[in-house]
Amino acid sequence: MRHPSRRPQGVAQSHIVDGGLHHQLAASGNFGQVIRKNYPVAIANRMGVPGAEAVSVVGCLCTPLDLLARDVCLPRGEIGDLVAVFQARAYGMTAGPTAFLGHQTPTEVLV
């Protein structure tokens, strides 16, 4: 998922990505799962850079359920960064509601 924007300084920091629960349902907590855990996430284009801040990774949908990771230590995000969600296995795009709110189908990369 691409990192298209950031919240202003002084507000709880979030990496806002162009994907979300409609692409990665399991990482978001399956529409409000009581116990959710963070899947490992990283700024994929800067894997060697140490974490600099505790942030949440949130999707682009207009719902508070569009949360992919909470309070994870990542490098400072920049517009255009590529955010990777690891250990998604079969719970990636094919398990999510990809057409939710008419969003385009994303590119899925298997490593």
Pairing of the two strands 5-6 and 14-16: antiparallel
Could you give the residue ranges of the DSSP H alpha helices within the chain? 25-28
Nearest to 43 by CA among 53, 34, 33, 35: 53
Tell me if 20 sits within 8 A of 98, measured CB to CB: no
Tell me if 67 sits within 8 A of 6, measured CB to CB: no
Distance, CA of 87 to CA of 50 (rounded, Å)? 20
| Catalytic position from the list 11, 34, 47, 62 | 62
Residue 62 among the catalytic residues: yes
Cite the active site residues: 62
